[in-house]
Amino acid sequence: MAHIKLPEFEDMSPEIQEKARPILEKTGQLGEIFKLIALDEKIYFATDMMVQKYLLEKTTLSYDIKEAIALLISKENGCKMCVDVHKSIAKMLGLSEEKIEQILQGVESINTTEGEKALLNFCIKASKKDNYKIEKKEIDALKEFGYNDVQILEAVAITGYFNYINTLSNVFALGE
């Protein structure tokens, strides 16, 4: 049970209801994270924009990589709720149970290219408190695998997004 009272759909502002209605109609429920951020319109709309731009729209990174980042960072941060949600999303996007389990076992267990493993390991390192220790040579190594500046930036932005969402979920005990 969440540490604070989460609003139900009917208690949300009309502007948030308008944005949340398609989720509610499609899935039959609003997840606790949507309810939590609905407490503040600014947080809700800023977070919704990140979801739309980073995760739902087609970007320079594949949906497979974005979901792998979501799963790895959420697991790293101990966010069971986000791991469970993104396991379901990964399945909807066509990732096999086997691939999802490989991801959850860690980067070295994933049957993928060395370049993708390097990017995923970089994201895990970027998610840590000592990410300020990342050096230019680590970014240059990703470029040697063919990643460009925009792809690296996007991967780090997604990593930061999951640190943010995992923090909200963990602090307020969502999904427990």
The rounded distance, in Å, linking the Cα atoms of 11 and 2 is 17
Phi, psi of 123 (to 5 degrees): -65, -40
Residues of the chain with CATH 1.20.1290.10: 63-171
Q: Which residues, in sequence order, are CB contacts of 48 under 8 Å at separation 6+?
A: 19
pLDDT at 176 over 80: no
Token reading at 143: 């470029």
pLDDT at 56 over 90: no
Which residue is listed with tokens 């690296």? 152
Q: Judge contact between 127 and 162, C-beta under 8 A.
A: yes
Q: How much is the pLDDT for 34?
A: 93
Give strand ranges (E) for 16-167. Answer: none
pLDDT band at 122 (very low <50, low <70, confident <90, very high): very high
Q: What is the mean pLDDT of the chain?
A: 94
Asked if CATH classification 1.20.1290.10 holds for the domain at 63-171, the reply, yes or no, is yes
pLDDT in tens, 79-109: 999 999 899 889 988 899 999 999 999 999 9
pLDDT at 123 over 80: yes
The rounded distance, in Å, linking the Cα atoms of 88 and 102 is 15
pLDDT band at 128 (very low <50, low <70, confident <90, very high): very high
Token reading at 99: 């691939």
Q: Judge contact between 82 and 174, C-beta under 8 A.
A: no
The rounded distance, in Å, linking the Cα atoms of 67 and 95 is 9
Q: How much is the pLDDT for 67?
A: 94
Helix (H) or strand (E) holding 101: helix 97-105
Taking residues 142-151, report their average pLDDT: 98
pLDDT at 26 over 80: no
pLDDT band at 152 (very low <50, low <70, confident <90, very high): very high
pLDDT band at 146 (very low <50, low <70, confident <90, very high): very high
The rounded distance, in Å, linking the Cα atoms of 113 and 164 is 28
**Global pTM value:** 0.93
Q: Which residues, in sequence order, are CB contacts of 143 under 8 Å at separation 6+?
A: 152
